[in-house]
Structure 1
Amino acid sequence: MSLRKQLSDLLSQLLPANPSDAIKGTELIRLVRMQLNGNYSDASLRYHFSIMSCDPGSPIAKVEKGQGYYRRSAPLPALSGAQELLSLTQGRLDDLTSGDQGVVDEAMMRVRKFRAVVTRYFEVNGRFPFAFREAFGKDSPISNLWKFPEMVLVDWETGGSPDEEMSLDETMLAFKQRLGLAPFRLHAARLRIQPSLATYREDFFQTLAVSTWAQGGELIYAAPIVDEALADGLRRLSATFGVGVTSFGLTPEVLEELPRPANILNANLRETDAIMSMLDVTRISSVNSRAHLDWTALSSMRDGSDETEKLVRWLTRCIDSRRAEPYKDE
């Protein structure tokens, strides 16, 4: 096995996710040597660390304006990334093929930051996000964009006291089980950067399509919705089909000012408060939440998606333990 392949496997396990816990090069070399096959010089290992940290697909990232390495956050899935770029250029392929790669990279970084902000926002507001990634890999069919959400948001019936914040309400849980109702609300979400009159119908109906199995659908935009005709169009569609629409009020300039995705996801309380203060969350229309899941559609999704199976197992664990726990990758 090549050195780079060995390092890719080892660094995914050794590196911390939080940049503030970054490991300096000398210590990382020591840790790597304990499991590495082959006799490689320190210079060779440092060279590979440096080269790999510049590769967006590698697991190692270097601390910006500092020393040390940490585990790079997951790259944007290919299908959703490609669709986001097409949306930003309003479907003009020439704008992508003839564009500067640096501009494309900056656009993708804004997308990754937004996804991290949405995840953190819902975590601190008592909702439990579950992200779909494998469904949008580079070898996945384009139809998956109309079948799977980018994120599922779970709202549990929890206890009322602060000490039981994560505990499920036993009485309500038993009551709903007797009525055949789920003790949670599952909303399927689509995330988009820039709303526009040219693309909002596709955004909306894609959200509707990927949420038919859930109890509701939510379309979440990063940028503010300032066009009155656009806002009215979204409200009319929402009134008919029940999909909720929200803007986080993040302009491209504000997105660029935000920390890197890994810093956002691992921010402490003070840092999180600072990030949340940059948001201007506006509800354009409310979601019409249904009482029941479409079990037939959910079963169909499970047959074609390991991630759906992980979602179901996670929800089952929470019900069995009577605790609403954040999802941890299996």
Structure 2
Amino acid sequence: MSLRTQLNDTLTEYLPANPKEAIKGTELIRLIRMKLDGNYSDASLRYHFSIMSCDPTSPIAKVEKGQGYYRRTAPIPALSSAQEIYSQYQGRLDDIQGDQAQVDHAMMRIRKFRAIVNKWCDVNGRFPFPFREPFAADAPIGNLWKFPEMLLVDWESREGDEQAMPLRKLKTQLGLPPFRLHAARLRILPAHHSFREDFFQTLSASVWAQGGELIYAAPIEDEALADSIRRLSIAFGIGVTTFGLTAEILDDLPRPANILNAHPRETEALMERLDVTRVSAVKSRSHIDWSSLEALRGDSTEVDDLLAWLSESADVGSMSPYGGGE
């Protein structure tokens, strides 16, 4: 087994998730050497750390303007991100063809927005489940209409809420879930040329859930566009929310890993940057279409992960954040 393969398999165990707790190369070498098959020099290991930290698919990332390494956040799903970039540039990909820096810039905005949505959910007592496998580079394009980027779970009573126990127990006896599931589509920029596709993908990907939510990073400044979106929402019940994050604000935000691992005061400062506006409210259905969800199991093993997480939460009577993170 090559050294790089071994490092890909073992680095995650030793890398901290928070860049502020980054581990120095010397210490990382000391820890990881015990797991490696072969006698590799410090120079060889440092070289591989450096090369891999520049690869967005590897588990190791290097601290900017400092020393040390941390665990890279999960990669952005390729299929969904490609559509997002295509939408941002109004389908004129020739405008950025060959400009990798511009593509990387667009990708960073997408990653920051997803991290912000995760943190916002955490602050507001919502539990996101990210879908990744259905949007892999080799996934069928139809998955964009079958799966949301995130499933947002609303637990109907907080842990320790004794007054809610009788109702929760009754629901359990009646076979009703103690949570609500909303399928969410995340997009950076609302625009006349793409809002219908955004909207109806959200609708299609939420048929099995109790509702669908379309979440935009940027505000909707065009009133005609806002009216068009509201009319669709009234007709089909999809909720639309904007976070008020312009391109300039997104560029000014910390890196995704810093957002996800922000301390309480930092989180408060991040939330103050948001201007969350409910353009239209979601119409939440009382039931989950379990047969439709079951039909998706053959398209992604992540459906099994979702069901296991929901089942475990229902068994213990409370919900914890999904371990997959963002």
Could you say which TM-score interval applies, normalised by the shorter chain? Answer: over 0.9
Question: Could you tell me how far 1:180 is from its partner in structure 2?
Answer: 4.1
Question: Could you tell me how far 1:131 is from its partner in structure 2?
Answer: 0.4
2:7 and 2:177 map into 1 onto residues whose CA distance is: 44
1:157 and 1:168 in contact (8 A); partners too: no
SS of the residue aligned with 1:186?
strand
Q: For residue 28 of structure 2, what is the aligned residue in structure 1?
A: 28
Moved more, 234-243 or 263-272: 263-272
Q: For residue 155 of structure 2, what is the aligned residue in structure 1?
A: 156
1:84 and 1:193 in contact (8 A); partners too: yes
Task: Please tell me whether residue 183 in structure 1 is matched to residue 148 in structure 2.
Answer: no
SS of the residue aligned with 1:164?
coil
Question: Could you tell me how far 1:182 is from its partner in structure 2?
Answer: 2.2
2:240 and 2:281 in contact (8 A); partners too: yes
Aligned pairs for 1:1-330 within 5 A: 1-97=1-97, 99-159=98-158, 164=160, 169-329=164-324
Q: Deviations over 1:245-281 (max 9, x none)?
A: 0000001111111111111111110111111111110
1:15 and 1:7 map into 2 onto residues whose CA distance is: 11
1:169 and 1:2 map into 2 onto residues whose CA distance is: 55
Structure 1 unmatched ranges of 5 or more? none
1:157 and 1:172 in contact (8 A); partners too: no
Q: Report percent identity of matched pairs.
A: 66
Letter of the structure 2 residue corresponding to residue 318 of structure 1 = S
Question: Could you tell me how far 1:110 is from its partner in structure 2?
Answer: 0.5
SS of the residue aligned with 1:130?
strand
Q: Deviations over 1:213-267 (max 9, x none)?
A: 0000000000111001110000000000000000000011111111111111111
Question: Could you tell me how far 1:168 is from its partner in structure 2?
Answer: 9.7
Aligned Cα root-mean-square deviation (Å): 1.5
1:158 and 1:324 in contact (8 A); partners too: no
1:222 and 1:96 map into 2 onto residues whose CA distance is: 22
SS of the residue aligned with 1:169?
helix
Letter of the structure 2 residue corresponding to residue 328 of structure 1 = G
Question: Could you tell me how far 1:181 is from its partner in structure 2?
Answer: 2.8
SS of the residue aligned with 2:303?
helix
2:163 and 2:76 map into 1 onto residues whose CA distance is: 33
SS of the residue aligned with 2:129?
strand
- CA 201–303 in structure 1, closer or farther in 2 if over 3 Å, else same: same
- CA 317–137 in structure 1, closer or farther in 2 if over 3 Å, else same: same
SS of the residue aligned with 1:91?
coil
Q: Deviations over 1:176-217 (max 9, x none)?
A: 234443211100000000110010000000000000000000
SS of the residue aligned with 1:15?
coil
Letter of the structure 1 residue corresponding to residue 145 of structure 2 = W
Letter of the structure 2 residue corresponding to residue 49 of structure 1 = F
Q: Deviations over 1:44-91 (max 9, x none)?
A: 111111111111111111111111100111111110110011111111
Letter of the structure 2 residue corresponding to residue 274 of structure 1 = A
SS of the residue aligned with 2:148?
coil
1:114 and 1:255 in contact (8 A); partners too: yes
Question: Could you tell me how far 1:170 is from its partner in structure 2?
Answer: 2.3
Number of residue pairs the alignment of both structures matches: 325
1:238 and 1:285 in contact (8 A); partners too: yes
2:177 and 2:314 in contact (8 A); partners too: no
TM-score, normalising length from structure 1? Answer: 0.95
SS of the residue aligned with 2:142?
helix
Question: Could you tell me how far 1:149 is from its partner in structure 2?
Answer: 0.6
Letter of the structure 1 residue corresponding to residue 118 of structure 2 = T
Letter of the structure 1 residue corresponding to residue 28 of structure 2 = L
